[in-house]
Chain A
Amino acid sequence: VTEAPTMSTVALSTGSWTGPVIDVDVHVTVPDSEVLLPFLSDFWIEFVHESNLRAPPAATQVYPPGAPTTCRDEWRPADGSPPASDLAMLQRDLLDPLRVQHAIINCYWGIESIRHPDLSLALARAVNDWLAEEWLARDSRLRAAVVVPGHDPNAAAGEIDRMGEHPGFVSVLLPTRSMRLYGNRLWHPMFAAIARHDLVASLHFGGQSDGPPTPVGFPAWFLEEHAADTQLWASQLTSVIGEGLFEKFPTLRMSFLESGFAWIGSAMWRLDKEWKGLRRDIPWVRQPPSRTIRERLKVSTRPLDAGPLDHWRHAIGWLGSDDMLMFATDYPHAHDQDFQLLLDATPDLAHAGIMGDNARGHYRGL
């Protein structure tokens, strides 16, 4: 067995921030389909065994188990079990030392890569029930995102309705690489359900769409796929603004998790500029898109996208709002930039918001 290369040598900390935090992007992993059996019907139990289904294909494609980005070194379980699959470890490694008041767990398991529409729904339901019973019920600090099938907006809406009244669920996990851009009207039933239950639509890095992982084509290396992800975020942002998702659902809020945010300022400028001349195409967009983005969208702080401090400070300023950033560790995934960089680049008055209050205003019941 070869050891994963060491990436992080110092324990993760919140730097000079010593208060409590809300962590909006914490991952838990389904260690194996076996843990879902108590939440599956007899037919699906047989199906899982007969087809030897251990995990949906995208689970390990999006987070290759051996990649240094997949887990911080000190968070890798010594027994070789999958990272982030044990509550005691999560408490010891993250919730306790970082003074986490609430953590929103996003269980990305690649369910959207399953094309069997009934299996995909059955697995999503099982994951949600497993999250409620094995995680939410066992630590009151935890909140969770509802997992939904990726190719059937009506089935997704049904699952959101089933879980929506559970107070532990505060958002819906939507992979960035979706089968269609999220502004597309075919998604409306799903977003209607999200809005109906006052949940947040949480787009998260990952997914397996019908197309390649960059808008142009297939890259050659994992690094390219990882870095080119920014283009998908920009595409989704443009789509949900242009197709009027926030006008269709006037209370809808959205999170971008693991999107980075240094790029958002210039994307807003471009959207505003084009809107002035091409508003007639999208007359439902009644105010400059940047305003809608600031009102409805919040972004997690992993990755930090930090560059040289002077430049990066400008890039954050270009967001035009101190309220858009929400602290997140992206546990257990490894990002090597220190949170102190963010505290140094933002005004002191914004820190309470970034470390918790912004999320509190965004998600229900925090």
Chain B
Amino acid sequence: VTVARHVVARVQDIPEGGRLIVTLQGHSIGIFHVRERFFAVLNRCPRKGAQLCRGSILGYLEADAPGELRYDPDRIMLQCPWHGWEYDLETGESYVPRSRIRSYRVDIENGQEVAEELRGGQVQAMDDDRATRAELGLGRSGPRVQRGPFVAETFPVSVRDDYLVISLPGRVRDTLEET
């Protein structure tokens, strides 16, 4: 399987509880920073195509009987802003039968590694256009959205920083396509 790897941001660019929405290979993808972990998912709800990554980040809530709530803040759910369906950010799964979202691998790499991979063509950098279109959402629910650029101005790569690298199946495409 061909995999295209994109370096999208410095780790410090996405504060805790924030999400960065970028376009990679024609797909809008949200990268989330929640409880010291990073997740990347396709910014599209399977229900009706809403921009899922603009939804709230919630802990998982379950119960065996009325009122006996168990709240798990470490199992993180993304709730669609349109119809409220929830998806597990880690697995992409929902409690709704046969509904799941696409999730992507996120690696944290140090600047030196990234710089070498950029030279060797193993990872792709964000170009200015994409970086400008990127959006940063702050806050777990009802995120306040800021427009980019967020990443372009951080290049060239600094060896002192750590970077987020997203892996997508498929070949690298040069043209910027909107989903």
B-contacting residues of A (Cβ < 8 Å)?
A: 185, 243-245, 247-248, 276-280, 282-284, 286, 288
Task: State in angstroms the CA–CA spacing of A247 and B64 once bound together.
Answer: 7
Q: Which residues of B contact A286 (CB under 8 A)?
A: 62, 95
Q: How large is the interface on B (under 10, 10 to 19, 20 to 34, 35 or more residues)?
A: 10 to 19
* Contact indicator A280/B65 (Cβ below 8 Å): no
CB distance from B68 to the nearest CB of A (A): 7
Q: Which 8 A-B pairs have the closest CB atoms?
A: A277-B84, A244-B66, A284-B63, A277-B83, A283-B63, A248-B65, A283-B61, A276-B96
Q: Which of B64, B84, B95 contacts A284, CB < 8 Å?
A: B64
Q: List 10 A-B contacts (CB under 8 A).
A: A244-B63, A247-B65, A247-B66, A276-B96, A277-B83, A277-B85, A279-B95, A280-B84, A283-B69, A284-B66
Q: Mark B101-138, 1 if CB is under 8 A from A, else 0.
A: 00000000000000000000000000000000000000
Q: Which of B66, B67, B83 has the most CB of A within 10 A?
A: B66
Q: Give the distance in Å from the alpha carbon of A278 to the alpha carbon of B96 in the complex.
A: 11
Residues of A within 8 A of B84 (CB): 276-280
Residues of B40-96 at the interface with A, using a CB-CB cut-off of 8 Å, are 47, 58, 61-69, 79, 83-86, 95-96
Query: Are B83 and A248 in contact (CB-based, < 8 A)?
Result: no
- What distance in Å separates the Cβ of B66 from its nearest Cβ neighbour in chain A? 4
Which residues of chain B have C-beta atoms less than 8 A from A248's C-beta? 65-66
CB contacts (< 8 Å) of B86 on chain A: these are 279-280
Q: Which residue of A lies closest to B58 (CB)?
A: A280
Report the separation of the CA atoms of residues A329 and B1 in the bound assembly, to the nearest whole angstrom. 65
Note all chain A residues with C-beta closer than 8 A to B69: 283
The smallest C-beta distance from A117 to any residue of chain B, in angstroms, reads 26
Distance from B20 Cβ to chain A, minimum over Cβ atoms (Å) = 26
Point out the residues of chain B lying under 8 angstroms from A276, CB to CB: 47, 83-85, 96
* Interface residues of A, dominant DSSP: helix
Q: Does B97 contact A (CB under 8 A)?
A: yes
A286-B95, A288-B97 are contacts. A280–B68 as well, Cβ < 8 Å? no
Q: How far is the CA of A18 from the CA of B95 in the complex (A)?
A: 46
CA distance A124 to B98 in the complex (A): 49
Nearest B residue to A277, CB-CB: B84
Nearest B residue to A278 by beta-carbon distance? B84
Known: A247-B65, A282-B66, A283-B62. 18 other contacts (CB 8 A): A245-B66, A248-B65, A248-B66, A276-B84, A277-B83, A277-B84, A277-B85, A279-B84, A279-B86, A279-B95, A280-B61, A280-B79, A283-B61, A284-B63, A284-B67, A284-B68, A286-B62, A288-B97
CA of A277 to CA of B84, assembled, Å: 4
Q: Which residue of chain A lies nearest to B77 when distances are taken between CB atoms in the complex?
A: A280
Provide the residues of chain A in CB contact with B83, threshold 8 Å.
Answer: 276-277
Complex Cα spacing A276 to B87, Å: 11
| Chain B nearest CB, measured from A251 CB (Å) | 13
List, in ascending order, chain A residues with CB within 8 A of B95's CB.
Answer: 279, 286
Alpha-carbon distance between A317 and B67 when the two chains are bound, in angstroms: 34
Query: Nearest chain-B residue to A244 (Cβ)?
Result: B66
A243 nearest CB neighbor, chain B only? B66
A278 to B82, CA, bound (A): 12
Q: Which of A185, A243, A245, A248 has the most CB of B within 10 A?
A: A248
| Cα–Cα, bound, A197→B53 (Å) | 50
Q: How far is the CB of A8 from chain B (nearest CB, A)?
A: 44
Bound complex: CA A282 to CA B69 (Å): 10
Distance (whole angstroms) from the CB of A284 to the closest CB of chain B: 4
Closest Cβ of chain A to B62, distance in Å, is 5
Q: State A284–B66 Cα separation when bound (angstroms).
A: 6
Known: A276-B83, A277-B83, A278-B84. A244 touches B65 (CB 8 A): yes
Most-contacted residue by chain B among A248, A283, A284 (CB, 10 A): A283
Asked if B66 and A185 sit within 8 Å, CB to CB, the answer is yes
Q: How far is the CB of B93 from chain A (nearest CB, A)?
A: 14
A245 to B67, CA, bound (A): 11
Q: Are A185 and B85 in contact (CB under 8 A)?
A: no
- Pick from A243, A276, A282 the residue with the most CB of B within 10 Å: A276
Bound Cα distance A280, B84 (Å): 9
